[in-house]
């Protein structure tokens, strides 16, 4: 609802960059409004004209995954409009994504102070407590959220995992089953189910759950890890070794992916990092993720030829000619006057066995001075 209100806001107002730098600001020091100022806040009633200037840019920055800019915008919004609830909420979620869980919790606690009626929006506050290792507090807050939204999948999942961490595996398992009844293809929940069953020495059932997780997400290193571990425990050594090999392949890629994603949090739009992510997913054979990575890469440099040529070749190497053709079409527009682009297109169409397009691209290439 908040996002919808933001979408209709036409005016784009620039927010000034304030000191200190956004990452060095303690959100607890942001100004507060008078008590009760937002007690009747209801996002459904929020009109575009009610939004503080700058929130649209925050939205755009978030869409571009430019978190430092979004952080700066939200902090400035809260300076200009103290305690504006959507800004506290968004800031809390953003700190959570930046893995600054204490700051995330502080923002969402403030959100609840100024808009206590919005309890149902604060699942991420429980995630923050969980990530800080305070499982008792996490469990309690998940329960508060679930009292408002009893079937909220991620709150149920978080509640189950908190109970597991607190030494209640059977209760955790029962809750994970409830999640799976609502979201039967939740791969991560199948993995946790497998883990708990395995820890409780129910290896056959655990293996079935791990295999289900693997069938849902065949690129999840953890699913392979669990299959391997459980097979080893069951004495199925060959299967265990096979799963372990695949786990190691996927895990080494995943480790690098995590590192790059972590770097991207603070260096948004770094083309080399975005290209590397796409390469890694392609190496996994994960077509859907590679496509998503390339969309993110192209979005970071909409008119640049280099990233698209990179994407074209990567998709062709992956055998995803359907997506590659779309990239080629865009390249034909963007690089209409660029000989090198047409040369690459000629090579691509040759690989795609599209003779007519190959000839056409070759002619364009030579017409533009290519040899």
186 binds other proteins (CB under 8 A): no
Smallest gap, in angstroms, from Cβ of residue 70 to other proteins? 14
201 binds other proteins (CB under 8 A): yes
Q: What is the Rg, in whole angstroms, of the alpha carbon atoms belonging to the chain?
A: 25
102 binds other proteins (CB under 8 A): yes
Q: Which residues contact 84 (CB under 8 A, 6 or more apart)?
A: 38, 52, 77, 78
According to CB under 8 A, which residues from 19 to 58 bind other proteins? Answer: 23-26
Cα 10 to Cα 266: distance, rounded to the nearest angstrom: 28
Identified binder of other proteins from the candidate list 38, 41, 88, 95, rule CB under 8 A: 95
Binding range to other proteins, per CB under 8 A, among 32-40, 108-116, 216-224, 271-279: 216-224
Taking phi over 0 as left and psi of -120 to 50 as alpha, with beta for the rest, 51 belongs to beta
187 binds other proteins (CB under 8 A): no
66 binds other proteins (CB under 8 A): no
Neighbours of 102 (CB within 10 A): 15
103 binds other proteins (CB under 8 A): yes
Distance, C-alpha 302 to centroid of its chain: 21
Cα 278 to Cα 297: distance, rounded to the nearest angstrom: 8
Identified binder of other proteins from the candidate list 36, 44, 47, 167, rule CB under 8 A: 167
HEC profile for 323-353? HHHHHHHHHHHHCCCCHHHHHHHHHHHHHCC
x/- binding map, residues 244-283, to other proteins, per CB under 8 A?
x--x---x---x---x---x-xx-----------------
Closest CA to 290 of 317, 263, 264, 265: 317
Identified binder of other proteins from the candidate list 38, 84, 198, 365, rule CB under 8 A: 198
Identified binder of other proteins from the candidate list 166, 216, 301, 339, rule CB under 8 A: 166
According to CB under 8 A, which residues from 124 to 163 bind other proteins? Answer: 132-136
Which helix (H) or strand (E) segment is 296 a member of? helix 287-300
Q: Encode 104-119: b = buried (16+ Cβ within 10 Å), e = exposed.
A: bbbbbbbbbebbeebb
Q: Which residues contact 12 (CB under 8 A, 6 or more apart)?
A: 56, 57
Instruction: Please give the size of the binding site for other proteins, defined by CB under 8 A.
Output: 43
| Nearest CB to other proteins, comparing residues 132 and 153 | 132
Smallest gap, in angstroms, from Cβ of residue 130 to other proteins? 9
Interacting residue ranges for other proteins, rule: CB under 8 A: 23-26, 95, 98-103, 132-136, 164-167, 169, 195, 198-199, 201, 221-222, 224-226, 228-229, 232-233, 240, 244, 247, 251, 255, 259, 263, 265-266
């Amino acid at each position: 609802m908040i996002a919808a209100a933001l979408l209709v806001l036409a005016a784009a107002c620039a927010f000034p960059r304030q000191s200190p730098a956004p990452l060095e600001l303690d959100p607890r020091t942001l100004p507060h409004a008078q008590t009760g100022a937002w007690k009747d806040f209801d996002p459904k009633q929020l009109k575009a004209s009610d939004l503080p200037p700058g929130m649209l840019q925050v939205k755009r920055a978030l869409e571009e995954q430019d978190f430092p800019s979004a952080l700066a915008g939200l902090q400035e919004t809260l300076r200009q409009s103290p305690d504006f609830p959507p800004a506290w909420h968004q800031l809390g979620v953003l700190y959570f994504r930046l893995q600054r869980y204490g700051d995330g919790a502080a923002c969402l606690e403030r959100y609840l102070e100024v808009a206590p009626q919005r309890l149902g929006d604060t699942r991420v506050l429980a995630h923050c407590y969980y990530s800080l290792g305070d499982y008792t507090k996490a469990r309690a807050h998940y329960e508060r959220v679930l009292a408002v939204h009893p079937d909220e999948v991620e709150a149920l999942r978080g509640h189950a995992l908190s109970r597991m961490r607190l030494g209640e595996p059977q209760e955790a398992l029962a809750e994970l089953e409830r999640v799976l009844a609502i979201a039967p293809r939740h791969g991560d929940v199948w993995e946790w189910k497998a883990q708990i069953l395995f820890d409780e020495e129910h290896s056959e059932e655990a293996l079935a759950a791990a295999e289900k997780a693997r069938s849902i997400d065949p690129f999840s290193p953890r699913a392979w890890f669990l299959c391997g571990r459980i097979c080893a425990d069951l004495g199925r050594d060959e299967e265990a070794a096979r799963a372990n090999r695949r786990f190691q392949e996927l895990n080494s890629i995943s480790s690098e992916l995590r590192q790059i994603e972590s770097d991207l949090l603070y260096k948004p739009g770094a083309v080399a990092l975005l290209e590397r992510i796409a390469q890694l997913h392609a190496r996994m054979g994960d077509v859907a993720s590679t496509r998503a990575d390339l969309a993110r890469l192209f979005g970071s440099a909409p008119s640049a030829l280099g990233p698209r040529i990179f994407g074209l070749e990567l998709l062709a190497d992956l055998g995803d000619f359907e997506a590659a053709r779309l990239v080629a079409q865009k390249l034909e527009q963007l690089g209409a006057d660029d000989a090198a682009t047409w040369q690459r297109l000629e090579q691509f169409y040759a690989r795609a066995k599209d003779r007519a397009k190959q000839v056409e691209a070759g002619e364009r290439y030579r017409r533009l001075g290519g040899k």
